[in-house]
C-alpha cells in the first residue's frame, strides 16, 4: 500500500500487525482478579486486581483502577494505579491520575493535578532491565 505525503511523493504505509488492532475493554463495574496479559490496546474503566503487561498501549480511565504493576509501550493514566508503572516509550499522567509506586519511562507527560507517590526514573525500560540483569550476574 502506498501513501502520498504533502509534497506529492509516494511513501510506504507502516504495516499493521494483527496484534496492533486488538482492543480489550474492562468496562466500568467490571472487576478482574488476576494478571492480564495481552497485545494491542487495553482500556480499563473497571478494576483490575493484578498486573497488566504485554500491550502496545494501556489506558486507565478516570474511574479505572489497577492494583498491580502496569507495563506497556505507552501508558495513559487518568485513574489509579497501586503498583509500578513501566512504559518503554511514553507515560502520560492526566490531571485525575494517582499512582502509588515507581514510574519508569523514556518520556513522561504530567498534567496539573496528577499525583505520583513514588520515584520517577527517566530511562529506557529495556536498558534498565539489561543493566539490572548485568548487576545480578556480577554478584
For the chain, the first-to-last Cα distance in angstroms comes to 51
pLDDT score of 9:
55
CB within 8 A of 63, min separation 6: which ones?
A: 28, 45, 79
pLDDT score of 103:
97
Which pLDDT tens digit goes with each residue over 30-70? 999 999 998 999 999 999 999 999 999 999 999 999 999 99
pLDDT score of 4:
45
**CA of 60: how far to CAs of 13, 98, 105, in Å?**
29, 11, 17
pLDDT score of 132:
46
pLDDT score of 123:
79
- Mean model confidence pLDDT for the chain: 84
Low-confidence ranges of the chain (pLDDT < 70): 1-20, 124-139
Instruction: Report the 10 Å Cβ neighbour count for 118.
Output: 15
CB within 8 A of 139, min separation 6: which ones?
A: none
Amino acid at each position: 500500500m502506498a501513501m502520498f505525503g504533502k509534497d506529492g511523493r509516494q511513501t510506504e504505509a507502516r504495516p499493521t500487525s494483527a496484534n496492533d488492532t486488538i482492543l480489550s475493554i474492562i468496562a466500568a463495574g467490571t472487576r478482574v482478579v488476576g494478571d492480564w496479559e495481552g497485545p494491542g490496546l487495553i482500556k480499563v474503566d473497571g478494576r483490575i486486581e493484578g498486573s497488566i503487561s504485554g500491550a502496545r498501549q494501556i489506558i486507565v480511565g478516570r474511574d479505572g483502577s489497577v492494583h498491580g504493576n502496569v507495563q506497556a509501550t505507552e501508558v495513559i493514566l487518568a485513574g489509579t494505579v497501586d503498583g509500578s508503572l513501566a512504559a518503554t516509550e511514553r507515560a502520560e499522567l492526566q490531571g485525575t491520575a494517582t499512582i502509588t509506586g515507581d514510574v519508569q519511562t523514556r518520556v513522561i507527560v504530567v498534567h496539573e493535578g496528577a499525583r505520583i507517590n513514588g520515584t520517577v526514573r527517566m530511562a529506557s525500560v529495556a536498558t534498565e532491565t539489561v543493566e539490572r540483569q548485568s548487576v545480578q550476574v556480577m554478584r
